[in-house]
Chain A
Amino acid sequence: MTKKHGPTKGTSRRDDQPWDIRPVSANAKKQWDEANEREPELIEKVRERLRSRPMDRSDNPKRTHPLKGSLGVKWVGGQQLPVWQHELTGAGRVWYCPDRSAHVVWLVKITLSHPKQTD
Chain B
Amino acid sequence: MRQLQTTTTYQVTDFARRYRDVLDEAREREVFVRDKDGTTLVVTIAEEVSKNRELVALSSDLFRLLRAVMGNRAEEVANSGQFAWLSVFPEADRRLFVDEVLQPMLVALSGGPLRPLFELIEDWKSTAELWTNDELRDELMAPIDTPFSNVSL
Contact = CB atoms under 8 A, between A and B. Distances in A.
Contacts of B39: none
B149 A69 contact: no
B137 to A, nearest CB: 7
Nearest to A23: B148
B144 A116 contact: no
B68 to A, nearest CB: 16
Nearest to A2: B150
B137 A71 contact: yes
B122 A71 contact: no
Given A4-B149, A22-B149, A69-B97, A116 B132 contact: yes
Given A77-B146, A109-B140, A71 B151 contact: no
B124 A68 contact: yes
Given A22-B149, A29-B153, A65 B144 contact: no
Interface string A66-109: 11111110111110000101000000000100000000001111
A62 B152 CA distance: 28
B139 A69 contact: no
B141 A71 contact: yes
A115 interface: yes
Interface residues of A, number: 45
Contacts of B153: 21-23, 29, 32, 47, 107
Interface stretch (B14-22, B57-65, B71-79, B86-94): B86-94
B123 A6 contact: no
A113 B123 CA distance: 20
A64 B150 CA distance: 27
B6 to A, nearest CB: 34
Interface string A46-66: 010000000001000110011
Given A69-B124, A70-B141, 8 more contacts: A2-B150, A24-B144, A25-B147, A68-B127, A74-B140, A77-B145, A78-B145, A115-B129
6 cross-chain pairs, A with B, having the tightest CB-CB distances, nearest first:
A69-B93, A75-B143, A21-B153, A22-B149, A24-B144, A68-B127
29 contacts: A4-B150, A6-B146, A7-B147, A22-B151, A23-B149, A24-B147, A25-B144, A67-B126, A67-B130, A67-B140, A68-B100, A68-B127, A69-B90, A70-B93, A71-B137, A71-B140, A71-B141, A74-B141, A75-B143, A77-B145, A78-B145, A85-B130, A106-B147, A108-B140, A109-B140, A115-B133, A116-B132, A116-B133, A118-B133
